[in-house]
Structure formats: C-alpha cells, structure tokens
DNA sequence: CTCCCAACAGGTCAATCATCCTGTTTTTCA
DNA sequence: TGAAAAACAGGATGATTGACCTGTTGGGAG
C-alpha cells in the first residue's frame, strides 16, 4: 500500500555527495562544512553517507582525487596541450578564467589552493596528493616550455622555474582576487606574464 | 594563608592571547583552533578571555590588525624602503624568507594568505581588512617601482601590475611550498623574478 | 580611605560536530 | 531460488565547540 519503493544507485548517490562536497569545500571551506549540511545538500540519508564515506576525511580525499585534480586537468593541462605554444596557452587560460569569474557574483578562489591551505597542515596524506596535483600541473607546463624550446629554439630559459613562477602567480593572484573580491589581480598578472613571455620568446627569435 | 594573589595585567594578558592566537591561526588555521586551546596556550581563564575577546571573531580581527598587518609591514614594506631599488629589495626579501624557512621544520605558509583563505568568504569585515593589507603591500611595492622609474629612468613598465605579479608569485609560491613542505617553489620564483627584474631594468639602461 | 569598575576566576550552557548504530530493502551470485 | 552482501533509512551518541554566567579581586579615581 504505502509506496516505500527504493532504487539503489550507488554510483549516482556517491556522485551527488562528492559534487555537493566539492562545491561546499571550495566555496565555504573543508572544516567549515558540516556533514549534516552535505547530507541535506546531496539529499542523502545518514546511512547512505556513512556507507559511502565512513569519515569526513574519506570524503575529502575523494573530492581531491575526483574533482580538484580534474579541475586542474581541465582548466590548465588540457588547454596547454591544445595550444601551439606556452605563452598563447597561458594567455588564453587566464582570459577564460577571468571571463568566467566576471559572470559570477563571488570569487571563491582556486580549488586546489583552497584545499591546500586548510588540510595540508593536518593531514600528510591529503597534502601529498595535493602536492602531486601541483606536480602534475608543473610538469605539464614545464614540458610545454621544453617543447617550445626544442621546436622554436628560443634562448636559454629554465622550464622548471618558469613553470613554477606561472603557477605561483596564478595561485597568488587568485588569493588576492579572493581577498578583494575583484578580478583585478588576475588581469594584472595576465598582462605581466604575457609581457614576460613575449620578452623571453622574442629574445632568441630576433637573433 | 592560601596564596590567592592576583595581578591585573590587561595589556599583558591581551598580548599573550593575541600572540597565542596568531601562532595558532597561522600554523593550524583559524577555524581549526579552539578557544579552549588558546586559553590553555596563553594561560588565561575563561573569564579573562571573554573579557578581552567576547567572541572568537573579535580575536580574529585583533590578530589581523595587530599581527598579520605588522608581519607584512616588517617582512616586506620596511625592507623595501631600506633598499636602493625594488629588484635588490625583492631578492633580499626572498633570500631572507627562504633562509628562515630552511631553519624551521615545517612550512606553514604566508600568514596573510592563510587568514584570507579561511575567513574572507564568511566575514566581509575581515575580508576588507585583509584586502587592505594586500593594498598596503601593493602600494608600497608599486611606489618603489615608480621611484625607480623616476630616478633611474628605465623603460616603460607598469608599476601597479608588476607589483601585483610580485606579490602574487610570492603568495602562490608560499602556497606551493606549503603543499610540498619544501622551499623549492620560493627559490624558483626568486630566480625568475630576479631575471625578470634584470631584464626590465637593463632594457632602458642599455639604451 | 573608600568607592567602583575594570580585570579576572571558574564553571555552565545549548548547539553543533563527526561518527556510528540498528533495522530494512535492494541487488548480486552461486 | 535462496542466501549473503551491498545499499540505504532514520536516528542516537558522546565529544567538542563558542558563548556566557555569577562571583571575586585588584587598582585607580575621588
């Protein structure tokens, strides 16, 4: 009589939880987000939550592995491989992100950075994974610089440290943008990085 | 008989609390730090704590105003004004900070950045103050670039956006260093910024 | 000397936190 | 088809959180 029909959907439920958690962790913080809030947001019962993620830490790890790493891959690494050279790729990535941010009403910061700040001090395992995401990001950018050097034979440039500078300036600009709730810092860094790249790439091309 | 002697020391007690809070907020996070922990760390009673800081938020504001702002002033703005030009100042500041970090056993990150990440989403007032600290930092650096331009007549360079890049790369490098628990990113950024500065400052000097 | 309030002590409080429990239903597999 | 495991429901639980309470004492103002 009473319709107590249920459909088991482990993958779907898990995805809903991780989606809700990613959004909440990035926008309001890992520690600041309660499990009860996530239960309501994802519309899952306490039992389902405990079944998929026995502890909050497991959920944090899943968010990092399934969402944060993917976000870096999608917004940075893939565009990087799709462009002719690093400078144009970097400029387009900044342009894309600035455009997206201007449509939103709040600047929540870089997902990777946000997670790093909160959990890397308390949890060595999370820190290592997040460090690995930074590593993959750095490797991709560094490899692109190297490829540019090989094909376009531009002057001496350290691919590794230059990649670090690009990533650091992006991350830092995001933090500044978050503090000021303004995309200005990102625009500034885009301009300065473009000028820097132009100088480095022009240097050898002129000779 | 029983020695229930007490000495009122409002300034000292307040200072002890703020010191303990600054250390804890920077090293383990604002939200992750409990009031009870701070009470024990600063060796103050609940009554004294409530008297000086009725709410945790008041303590957060005091830490930002009295310690975070001062830290930026001391590590960046003052050295900036004490050096001949911006490039040498930036290089020395990086050198100093890298040296300090290598003596420690953990990289806890930039105090300003740490606070920004955690509180700027929840508290507009804290965010504004933190944004103001970024602003003061940016203004000092920007002014130094401007002064260098006026005295040394180096080529066209945008003091404001270049200052943003320097601050962003420092902040971002700190975040990367925190994630990897390694000063490498800071060393990379120091090298790259030095090269960038040399190029910009040499550009006009050569002509 | 005497008020009187700031300064401090020590404990309580409701709310919220993450976790985990028992019970039920769905699905898988032999 | 039957048994076992996975998936889910709904709530309980103890610990911890930030806030705040009443009472006491120190020290400066008058």
Residues of B in contact with A122 (CB under 8 A): 28-29, 32
Q: Taking CB atoms and an 8 Å limit, are A185 and B164 in contact across chains?
A: yes
Count of residues making up chain B: 207
Residues 6+ apart with CB under 8 A from B206: none
The residue with greater pLDDT, A178 or A4, is A178
**Mind listing the pLDDT tens digit for each residue in B31-72?**
999 999 999 999 999 999 999 999 999 999 999 999 999 999
The rounded percent of chain A whose pLDDT value lies above 90 is 88
The predicted pLDDT at position A203 comes to 55
CATH topology of domain B63-205: Tetracycline Repressor; domain 2 (1.10.357)
B119-129 pLDDT, tens digit per residue, is 999 999 999 99
Instruction: Give one DSSP letter per residue of chain A, joined into a string.
Output: ---------HHHHHHHHHHHHHHHHHHH-TTTS-HHHHHHHHT--HHHHHHH-SSHHHHHHHHIIIIIHHHHIIIIIHHHHHSSSHHHHHHHHHHHHHHHHHHSS-----HHHHHHHHHTTT-HHHHHHHHHHHHHHHHHHHHHHHHHHHHH--S---HHHHHHHHHHHHHHHHHHHHHHTSSHHHHHHHHHHHHHHHHHHHHHHT-
Question: What mean pLDDT is predicted for residues A138-166?
Answer: 92
Find the Å distance, CA of residue B190 to C1' of nucleotide D14.
Answer: 51
**What residue ranges do the domains of chain A occupy?**
64-205
A42 pLDDT more than 60? yes
Which nucleotides of strand C lie under 7 Å from a protein CB?
6-12, 16-23, 25-27
- For residue A68, the number of C-alpha atoms closer than 13 Å in the C-beta half-sphere is 31
The pLDDT tens digits of the residues spanning B169-190 come to 999 999 999 999 999 999 999 9
Give the pLDDT band of residue B202 (cuts 50, 70, 90): confident
Q: Name the architecture of domain A64-205.
A: Orthogonal Bundle (1.10)
A-proximal residues of B, 152-171, CB under 8 Å: 158, 160-162, 164-165, 167-171
The per-residue b/e assignment along B114-150, b for 16 or more CB within 10 angstroms, e otherwise, is bbbbbbbbebeebbebbbebbeebbebbbbbbeebbe
The predicted structure's pLDDT at residue A155:
72
φ, ψ of residue B83 to 5 degrees: the values are -100, 160
Cβ neighbourhood burial of A58 (10 Å; 0-12, 13-18, 19+): exposed
- Is a pLDDT exceeding 50 seen at residue A98? yes
Nearest to B176 among A134, A173, A199 (CB): A134
């Amino acid at each position: 009589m009473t319709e107590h029909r249920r459909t088991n959907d482990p993958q779907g439920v898990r995805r809903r939880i991780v989606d809700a958690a990613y959004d909440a962790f990035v926008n309001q913080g890992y520690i600041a987000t309660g499990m009860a809030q996530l239960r309501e947001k994802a519309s899952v019962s306490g039992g389902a939550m405990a079944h998929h993620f026995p502890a909050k830490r497991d959920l944090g790890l899943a968010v990092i592995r399934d969402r944060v790493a993917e976000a870096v891959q999608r917004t940075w690494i893939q565009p990087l491989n799709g462009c002719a050279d690093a400078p144009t790729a970097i400029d387009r990535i900044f342009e894309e992100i600035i455009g997206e941010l201007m449509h939103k009403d709040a600047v929540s910061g870089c997902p990777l950075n946000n997670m790093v700040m909160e959990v890397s001090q308390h949890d060595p395992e999370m820190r290592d994974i997040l460090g690995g995401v930074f590593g993959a990001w750095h490797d991709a950018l560094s490899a692109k610089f190297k490829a540019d050097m090989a094909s376009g034979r531009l002057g001496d440039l350290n691919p590794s440290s230059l990649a670090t500078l690009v990533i650091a300036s992006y991350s830092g600009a995001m933090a500044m943008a978050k503090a000021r709730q303004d995309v200005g810092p990102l625009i500034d860094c885009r301009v300065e990085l473009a000028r820097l790249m132009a100088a480095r790439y022009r240097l050898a091309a002129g000779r």
